[in-house]
A = this chain, B = another copy of it.
Amino acid sequence: MKSTITIKDVASELGIHHVTVSRALRNTGSVKQETRDLIKKKANELGYKPNRLAQNFRNKRSHTLAVVVPNLRSNFFSKFVSDFMEIAQEAGYSVMIFQSGEELNLEKEIIDSLIGYRVAGVVASVTKDTIYENPFDILKDENIPYVFFDRAPKQAKAAQVLVNNFQGAYDAVTAMVKSGKKRIAYISAHYQHKIFLDRLAGYKQALKDNGLPYREDMIVKAGFFMKDGFGQAKILMEKKDKPDGILAFRDEIGIGVIKYLKKIGARIPEDIAVVGFDNDPMGLACEPELTTVQQSIPAMVASSFDLLLGQIKSDKLSFEKMIIEPKIIYRGSV
């Protein structure tokens, strides 16, 4: 088998011009049906595989979409990426994935690389430090459309798919209040991203609307992992005026909280309720199962994809914002 068959090989086998082969294989231009069939048969027979490198080069644009995320280890991002790839591939796009590792510098390098690859479009969730500047903005110069999901820089002029985090936190607190909780703490993040700020704001507003006092000492901050939740739960529970409900900004944190609470013998949810964010499958493994604020990933994926494709197809940038409404998934911890 010849190592690489080109359209010219197919053409010469058939004694016709390679341009006709090109046309036939792509179903464009006018080619007699008979010829077209003949060409396809021969191409198949010879094992011809279109050289995407040449095609992309010639077309000055790769048929590839890029996804940039902080990492692939969190279930939220890996599920997003997984779903996005499926729908993109169905639509005939290839997907390149990049992890910024939550590092702004790496994110910038990735963006340069994206430009080099002339990707057709980009979907991104920015690093924890990408707040006051928008490194993706240079994509506009290259006419590469992009969409932010979940996390976006402040005041970014770009298409965005965001979750109504305010509402999610608000509903979570309200759920705990309804089940009789009165001293609800919040474990927040160290970072200044809107998603974290909004959750905090929703928490505060829910307290207020339910006639509960907002107390500074009921707010603590944690990193991203289970152990961080465990540690902060300890701090909260050693206060004189213990909480009887804890909202965590992530499910992993919430699980850490539950682990600590069980260690000290607190009953969940009788003595204290716990709610997390993300609908992470890990929440199903703990006991009781973690009640969580779900941000529908399929909805985010679909919206991101639509927003991106719209821009690609119309060759016009859009700055549309889509807001996904979250939903509380009631399990055992409230």
- On A, residues with C-beta under 8 Å from B are 1, 3-4, 47, 49-54, 56-57, 60, 62, 71-73, 75, 78-79, 81-82, 85-86, 89, 94-99, 101, 112-113, 115-118, 141-143, 226, 255, 259, 262, 281-287
* Chain B residues whose C-beta falls within 8 Å of the C-beta of A284 in the assembled complex: 226
How far is the CB of A147 from the nearest CB of chain B, in Å? Answer: 19
* Chain B residues whose C-beta falls within 8 Å of the C-beta of A101 in the assembled complex: 86
- B72 near A118 with CB under 8 A, answer no
Q: How far is the CA of A167 from the CA of B334 in the complex (A)?
A: 43
How far is the CB of A330 from the nearest CB of chain B, in Å? Answer: 18
How far is the CB of A307 from the nearest CB of chain B, in Å? Answer: 22
Q: How far is the CA of A283 from the CA of B255 in the complex (A)?
A: 12
Closest residue on chain B to residue A112 by CB atoms: B49
Q: List 12 A-B contacts (CB under 8 A).
A: A47-B141, A52-B116, A53-B118, A71-B82, A73-B82, A75-B75, A85-B98, A86-B101, A94-B117, A226-B285, A259-B287, A281-B282
How far is the CB of A282 from the nearest CB of chain B, in Å? Answer: 5
* Chain B residues whose C-beta falls within 8 Å of the C-beta of A112 in the assembled complex: 49
* Chain B residues whose C-beta falls within 8 Å of the C-beta of A89 in the assembled complex: 98
- B285 near A1 with CB under 8 A, answer no
What are the 4 closest A-B residue pairs judged by CB atoms, nearest first?
A285-B285, A57-B57, A72-B82, A78-B78
Given contacts A47-B141, A52-B113, A72-B82, 7 further A-B contacts (CB under 8 A): A52-B118, A54-B57, A72-B72, A73-B78, A86-B99, A283-B285, A285-B285
* Chain B residues whose C-beta falls within 8 Å of the C-beta of A56 in the assembled complex: 53, 57
Our pick among B73, B141, B285 for the contact of A255 (Cβ within 8 Å) is B285
* Chain B residues whose C-beta falls within 8 Å of the C-beta of A281 in the assembled complex: 282
How far is the CB of A166 from the nearest CB of chain B, in Å? Answer: 28
* Chain B residues whose C-beta falls within 8 Å of the C-beta of A79 in the assembled complex: 72-73
How far is the CB of A109 from the nearest CB of chain B, in Å? Answer: 9
How far is the CB of A224 from the nearest CB of chain B, in Å? Answer: 12
Closest residue on chain B to residue A64 by CB atoms: B96
Q: How far is the CA of A82 from the CA of B100 in the complex (A)?
A: 11
- A118 near B51 with CB under 8 A, answer yes
- B49 near A60 with CB under 8 A, answer no
- B57 near A4 with CB under 8 A, answer no
- Indicate whether A116 sits within 8 Å of B3 (C-beta atoms), given known contacts A85-B99, A96-B94: no
- B72 near A99 with CB under 8 A, answer no
Q: How far is the CA of A328 from the CA of B72 in the complex (A)?
A: 25
* Chain B residues whose C-beta falls within 8 Å of the C-beta of A286 in the assembled complex: 285-287
How far is the CB of A304 from the nearest CB of chain B, in Å? Answer: 16
- Indicate whether A85 sits within 8 Å of B97 (C-beta atoms), given known contacts A1-B141, A285-B286, A286-B287: yes
